[in-house]
Homo-oligomer: A and B are copies of this chain.
Amino acid sequence: MSSDGTGRRPTIYSVADRAQVSIATVSRVLRRPDEVRPATRDRVLQVVDELGYVPDGAARSLAVKSHEAHGLVLPELGGPYYADLLTGYEQGAADGGASVVVLLTDGKADVDLLVRRLAGRVDGIVLMGAVQVAPTTVAAIRRKLPVLGLANSHEESVESFVTENVHSAEELTRHLVEVHGRRRLRFVGSPDIADDVHDRYAGFVAAHQAAGLEAAPPVPATFREEDGPRVAALLLEGELEADALVCANDELALSVMRHLSAGGVSVPDQVSVTGWDDGMAARYVTPGLTTVSQPVRELGRQVAVRMRALLEDPTSVPEQHLLPTTLVVRQSCGCP
């Protein structure tokens, strides 16, 4: 069993052999250096260095029964939202010594299979609400590891983190109605596409009711810039009457706004346009985009921290987490 240079990549055995110690000692040197006599320790460390030995993570995981990694499942990485989320999460996970495995589902055929597979390589999984994964899959992986939901205000069976949507949407809408005297408002986005869109529309409706107005049905659209031209065209061609467009996110809002301007409609004079997310572009366009800011990075961090807690104490009682958002008023709503 004592091969040395000839073998493959160096293992703990190669190191032990060469340093004239047992593998137990090598392991100790790496994990709890102070439990080993300095002389031996140095000898081992030198060999480790010579051989460029790096412990195999898989073997280690198997032994310690922990993958030291979390899975983060997102639809994509467009816009600042998901990137910030990932940044925050990675930080929170890293603080606990865990790495992050990202799974981007957009464009993938067998998402359910991939999520299942992922469940075998990580200690816990965070599932973005917008990803389409079968309930049975969720149920399956939950039997194996902790699962946290993100921006899935409905599906209350899994513990989740959500940023406030209803009230901020309501506040935003009210602002448009009361401050700018808008009356023909339209919500741009598909409420059934994701829970947060649903909630934003709900707030939109609530504000109307509170003002004694009737909310028009939503104008369907995805989160992507691509849908902007179509929506703008609807309005330019008179198929849609509106003096305010409450868009589901910034990308959409910016695109609509630009195409409206290009078509000769003045924003915000003729039509107010608002977004959601407060990405970098929102600050730089003219007029500045009135939007809603979410503490996305912090959200990511908190989710990671919670996951770590869950991993340490699985009996920990689940709770729903709600993070506050802030209305950011710029000029696209009509404010000076």
Contact = CB atoms under 8 A, between A and B. Distances in A.
Interface of A: 9, 49, 52, 54-62, 67-69, 76-79, 82-84, 86-87, 90-91, 94, 99-104, 107-108, 114, 116-122, 139-141, 143-144, 225, 251, 254, 258, 279-281, 283-286
Instruction: Give how many copies assemble into the complex.
Output: 2
Contact of A120 (B54, B67, B117, B139): B54
A78 to B, nearest CB: 7
A57 to B, nearest CB: 3
A279 B100 CA distance: 26
B101 A99 contact: yes
A64 to B, nearest CB: 9
7 contacts: A57-B121, A86-B102, A99-B102, A100-B101, A100-B102, A279-B281, A286-B286
A67 B77 contact: no
A140 B52 contact: yes
Nearest to A55: B120
Given A58-B121, A62-B58, A284-B254, A102 B102 contact: yes
A287 to B, nearest CB: 10
Given A9-B144, A77-B83, A102 B121 contact: no
- Shortest 8 CB-CB distances between A and B: which pairs? A57-B121, A58-B61, A281-B281, A52-B143, A57-B120, A83-B83, A77-B83, A54-B120
Contacts of A139: 52
A78 B83 contact: yes
Given A107-B91, A144-B9, A285-B286, A101 B69 contact: yes
Nearest to A136: B49
A87 B99 contact: no
Contact of A118 (B62, B99, B103): B99
A33 B238 CA distance: 58
A102 to B, nearest CB: 6
A91 to B, nearest CB: 7
A87 B76 contact: yes
A108 B103 CA distance: 23
B94 A87 contact: no
Given A225-B280, A284-B281, A99 B121 contact: yes
A132 B258 CA distance: 40
Contacts of A119: 54
A124 to B, nearest CB: 13
Contacts of A57: 58, 61, 67, 117, 120-122
Contacts of A281: 279-281, 284-285
A69 B99 CA distance: 12
Nearest to A103: B99
A41 B280 CA distance: 54
Contacts of A77: 83-84, 86-87
A94 B100 CA distance: 15
A264 to B, nearest CB: 16
A92 to B, nearest CB: 11
B141 A54 contact: yes
Given A49-B140, A62-B62, A254-B284, 8 more contacts: A54-B120, A57-B117, A57-B121, A78-B83, A90-B102, A101-B101, A225-B280, A279-B281
